[in-house]
Amino acid sequence: MFYRRKIILALLELLGGEVEKLRFQKLLFLYAMKKPNPEYDFVPYKFGCYSYSAKADMNTMVKRGYLLETENKYNKTDTSNYLQKLKPADAKFLQQVIADYGQMNSNALIKHTYLNFPFYAIKSTIAKEVLTGKLYERVEKATPKDQEITLFTIGYEGVSLEMYLQKLVKNNVKLLVDVRKNPLSMKFGFSKTLLKRYCNSLDIEYLHIPEVGINSDKRQQLESQSDYDRLFADYCKTTLLETTNLQVEIVKLLQQHKRIALTCFEAEPCQCHRSHLALSISKLPNFKYALIHL
């Protein structure tokens, strides 16, 4: 079993084996905030902090019989003691979270997280009800407001789905343009259907333009930067010259949405075709905007 799932099961143990779904997300979030490198990351969602990855793990554990799911709750059906299987420091973090917040109901936890972590309340549909008057100003202050027309590029290598989406939200990206030839990934959340769903849930539109991608057979045996450079030299002489019309369309999308991001896998722009695509777009006659690699 993945270690991160043991964290979830240990949390349920400390709660007596049962937890409301909303409380679960908030308590797991408060645990994550105590750690420099938590097992789960979170995004600002319609009821505040939320982890799609944790929800996916819960679904898996329901299917495998570790948990029972009802409309509003999870129950731990596995009788194993997972708290004792954790690293001592993590067990202490969980116990401290339960000691500090375990008696709070869902409404109290929502208010606490909104007040102390207002960024995660910026997409909330209930924030104005929970935080009245001047308290809501914390959420308004945390809301990204930059409107300068900017073309971003971003890769998802080495980051969780939630941290990736956080970057988009914090930079006020309105449209994600997927420039992979084949928008499939073994990494959770990054295949086309799921990525589109998660972007849309955060008010970010999604568009796939496979024509500006690179065929997978050309991406074999890339072991050094010189290998990448040869690949991209060919890309610039072929695909980029053949897709000028699509690059012009991307500029039109940029003008329409103001802040869009080109996405592919690699973390380093120098090892991804998106940087060459973005550079080509920036050289078009009508391009006069900022270009930023996230």
Residue pLDDT, tens place only, 8-25: 999 999 999 999 999 999
Q: Which DSSP state fits 187?
A: S
Domain boundaries, the chain: 3-141, 150-293
pLDDT for 226 = 82
Q: Residue 219 pLDDT > 80, yes or no?
A: no
**Side chain identity at residue 285, one-letter code:** P
pLDDT for 169 = 98
Structure token digits, residue 141: 């202050």
Distance CA 257, CA 250 (A): 10
Residues 28 and 11: beta-carbon distance below 8 Å: yes
Structure token digits, residue 115: 């007040």
Task: Give per-residue burial for 8-47: e unless 16+ CB within 10 Å, then b.
Answer: bbbbbbbbebebbbbbbbbbbbbbbbeeeebbbbbbbbeb
Structure token digits, residue 227: 């290998």
pLDDT band of residue 224 (cuts 50, 70, 90) is confident
pLDDT for 220 = 67
Q: What are phi and psi of 132, to 5 degrees?
A: -95, 160
pLDDT for 229 = 84
pTM for this entry:
0.94
Instruction: Using a pLDDT cut of 70, give the percent of the chain over it.
Output: 98
Q: Do the strands 150-155 and 259-264 form a parallel or antiparallel pair, or are they unpaired? A: parallel
Least confident stretch, 124-128, 168-172, 233-237? 233-237
pLDDT for 134 = 93
Read off the pLDDT of residues 75-117 as tens digits, 9 standing for 90 and up.
999 999 999 999 999 999 999 999 999 999 999 999 999 999 9
Read off the pLDDT of residues 241-291 as tens digits, 9 standing for 90 and up.
999 999 999 999 999 999 999 999 999 998 899 999 999 999 999 899 999
Q: Residue 68 pLDDT > 80, yes or no?
A: yes
Q: Residue 180 pLDDT > 90, yes or no?
A: yes
Q: Residue 173 pLDDT > 90, yes or no?
A: yes
Q: Residue 217 pLDDT > 80, yes or no?
A: no
Structure token digits, residue 238: 């072929």
**Side chain identity at residue 125, one-letter code:** T
**Side chain identity at residue 262, one-letter code:** L
Structure token digits, residue 119: 């960024």
Q: Residue 227 pLDDT > 90, yes or no?
A: no
Read off the pLDDT of residues 123-160 as tens digits, 9 standing for 90 and up.
999 999 999 989 999 999 999 999 999 999 999 999 99
Distance CA 92, CA 138 (A): 30
Distance CA 50, CA 29 (A): 8
For the domain spanning 150-293, the CATH number is 3.40.1010
